[in-house]
Chains A and B, each alone.
Chain A
Amino acid sequence: MTDVTEPVTAAERPERPEHHVDAPLAPPSATTGLLEVFRRRYLLRLLIRREISARYQGSFLGLLWSYINPLTQFFIYYFVMGVLFQLHKNVPVFAIHMFCGIIIVHFFNETFNAGTRSIVRNKALVQKMALPREMFPVASMLVSGYHVVPQLVIMVIACVILGWTPTFAGAVALLLALLIIATVGTAMALLFSAANVYFRDVSNVGQILTNFVRFGVPMIYPYTMVQDRFGSAAEYYLYNPVACAVLLFQKAFWVGTTDDPAQTAAEHLPSDLWAYSVLALLVGVALLCFAQLVFSRLENKIPERL
C-alpha cells in the first residue's frame, strides 16, 4: 500500500499559506437573467457553436438541411398556391412575395421550436453547473438568426436579378422585422423552454402554434386578400407581430421587384405599417420582460424537475 503522503494529525499539520479572498459574500446563484447572458459572451459563443454542431449531429448533409427545408417549402407552396390556385396571377412576383414570408416564418419557428427544447436538451449542463439558464433559449435564437443570413443572400441576389435596388426605408424595414422576430421569438422560447421542463406536452403545443404561424401571415396569400375578406377587422390581423415582420420584409424586398413599386406598396401593404411595426416591437420587448419574469419564477425548480 503506497500512500501519497504520510498521514498526519491535525495538530502537527504545517501552517497553510493565507489565501484571502476579498470578494463579497454573495448567493452563488444570484447572477442570472438576460443581461448576464450577454455579459458572458464567450460562453454564449461556445454554446452557439455547440448548438450548431448538435443540430446536425450525424447527418451527412449537415448544415445544408437548413436550406433544403425552406426550399422545399418554397416549391410546395409555389406549386400549390401559385400554379394550382393560380394565385400568382393576382400577386406580382409571387415567388419573392412568398420567399419573404418563408424566411421570417422559418426564423421564428426555428427559434421557437429549438428554444422550447433547449433546456431539456442541455440537461447535463443544467443539472450540474451554475450558469444563467437563459443562455440556452438565447443561443437557439442566435443560431436560427445565423441561418437567416445565407437565405438573405439568396434573396438579395434574386431581387437584384429582378431589378431591385436597395432603399433606406427598405433597410430600416428589414432591421425592424428581424428585431421583432428576435424579441418575440426569444420571449416565446424563454417561456416555453421553462414550461417544457415541467410538462413535456408543451413542445406539442409549440408544434401546433408553429402551424398557426405558418398560415397566419401573408405568405401564401397577399395581405389584400385579408382586407377583402375581413374589411375593418383586418386591423386585428396586424396585431400579430410575425405578420407585421413579414409585411416589413415584403416592403424591403418584394415591393422593389415589382414593375411599379409605389403602386404595389399602396395596393398590397397596409398604409400604417410603420405604426403597427413599432407597436409589434414594443409588444416584443414587453413580452420579453414578461417571459424573463416567468422564467425566473420557474427556474428555481428546473434542475430538480429535469
Chain B
Amino acid sequence: MSGSESIVVDQVTKSFTLRYHRTFKQMTVAALRRQEISNSFKALDDVSFVIEQGESIGLMGLNGSGKSTLLKLINGVMRPDGGQVLTRGRIAGLIATGAGFHPQLTGRENIYLNAAVLGMSEAETRRKFDDIAEFAELGKFLDSPVGHYSSGMSSRLGFAIAIHVDSDIFLADEVLAVGDKPFKQKCLAKMQEVRDGGRTLVYVSHAAGSVRKMCDRVIVLEQGRVGFDGEVNEGIKYVKYDSGDDGQENEDEELGADI
C-alpha cells in the first residue's frame, strides 16, 4: 500500500559557492593578501514540508528566496546537500520561465527531445504532437531554430510540452511572466485542468490573484527558510506584508506579472 504523499521535502539544505577569484593568478594574489577565496551561502536552509497528492501549492517569496532552487531539487536537476527530497511519479514542468531547449534545433525537434527527456516514448510524443503544436501557436516558426524565437515564443513552446506530458506532478515556475495576456489565460485554464484532474501542482508566482485562484495552500520562502505554510489568503498577506508592498490595491490584477 503506497502512501498519499506526493512530494516530501525533509530538512533540505542546499548551499552554493560563490567564487571571487577564478584564475590561478587571482587566487594566488588573494591568498597572499589573505582575502577570502570563496564564500558559500545557503540557498535553502532546513526546509521541510509534505505535499499530499492532488494538492496545489502556491510557492511564493521574493526574488532570490530559493524558489527556483527548491523546484530544481524537486524535479531532480539538483540534489540537496543535506536532508532529502522524495517524489512520487513522473514530474513535468518549467523552471525559470523556460524548458531546456537547444537553440540550434528547430521547434519540432525540440518537442521530441524535450518530451523524451521527460520520459515520453516516440509513439506517445507523436500522438500528442499536434496538441502541443496547436497549443504553442507557433505556426510556421515550428520549423525554425528555437534560438531565433522570442522569449515569449520559447516559453510558450516549453509550457505546451510540459503541460501535455502525462505527469503526476506539475511544476510551474513563473510561467506567466513572459506570455501575453491571451496566452496567460490559456495557460491558467490549462493548469486548472491539470489541478482539477487531481494531479499535484506546484505553482510559483508573484501574482496574488492567480495564486488565490489556483492554489489551496501557500508556502512562502524567506531567504531559504519556510516563512509561512498554510492557508492561501494568509500566505498572500504574509508576502505582501514582508515585501512592504502597496498591499491590497492591485489585487484584482489576476494575471499580474513579476513584482
- B156 nearest CB across to chain A (Å): 16
Cross-chain contact B87 with A26 (CB below 8 angstroms): yes
B121 at the interface (CB under 8 A from A): yes
Cross-chain contact A125 with B109 (CB below 8 angstroms): no
Contact with A along B96-117 (1 / 0, CB 8 A): 1011111111000100111011
CB contact between A5 and one of B3, B88, B192 (< 8 Å): that residue: B192
CB contact between A18 and one of B54, B78, B99, B254 (< 8 Å): that residue: B54
Q: Of the 9-residue stretches A126-134, A212-220, A262-270, which lies at the interface with chain B?
A: A126-134
Q: A28-B87, A124-B103 are in contact. Are A19 and B54 (CB under 8 A)?
A: yes
Within 8 A of A (CB), among B43-77: 53-54, 72-77
Interface residue SS majority, chain A? loop
CB contact between B100 and one of A2, A19, A40, A129 (< 8 Å): that residue: A129
Q: A126–B192 Cα gap in the complex (Å)?
A: 29
Indicate the size class of the contact surface on chain A: 35 or more
Within 8 A of B (CB), among A1-42: 1-5, 7-8, 10, 13, 16-30, 40, 42
Q: Of the 9-residue stretches A46-54, A92-100, A162-170, which lies at the interface with chain B?
A: A46-54
Residues of chain B contacted by A24 (CB below 8 angstroms): 2, 88
B195 at the interface (CB under 8 A from A): yes
CB contact between A21 and one of B6, B99, B114 (< 8 Å): that residue: B6
A72 at the interface (CB under 8 A from B): no
Cross-chain contact A25 with B198 (CB below 8 angstroms): no
A300 at the interface (CB under 8 A from B): yes
Cross-chain contact A21 with B168 (CB below 8 angstroms): yes
Residues of chain A contacted by B257 (CB below 8 angstroms): none
B5 at the interface (CB under 8 A from A): yes
Q: A18–B52 Cα gap in the complex (Å)?
A: 12
Cross-chain contact A26 with B117 (CB below 8 angstroms): no
Residues of chain B contacted by A25 (CB below 8 angstroms): 2-3, 5, 8, 86-88
Cross-chain contact A29 with B216 (CB below 8 angstroms): no
Q: A3-B254, A23-B89, A43-B117 are in contact. Are A129 and B77 (CB under 8 A)?
A: yes
Contact with B along A105-137 (1 / 0, CB 8 A): 000000000000000001011111111000000
Q: A5–B192 Cα gap in the complex (Å)?
A: 9
Query: Residues of A at under 8 Å CB distance from B?
Result: 1-5, 7-8, 10, 13, 16-30, 40, 42-43, 46-47, 50, 53-54, 57, 122, 124-131, 300, 303-304
- In the complex, given contacts A28-B87, A29-B77, A53-B105, what are 17 additional A-B residue pairs having Cβ atoms less than 8 angstroms apart? A4-B192, A16-B198, A20-B53, A21-B2, A21-B6, A21-B53, A23-B89, A25-B88, A26-B86, A42-B116, A42-B121, A42-B122, A50-B109, A53-B104, A57-B104, A129-B100, A131-B117
Nearest 7 CB-CB pairings of A with B: A19-B198, A28-B76, A130-B76, A128-B100, A29-B76, A21-B89, A125-B100
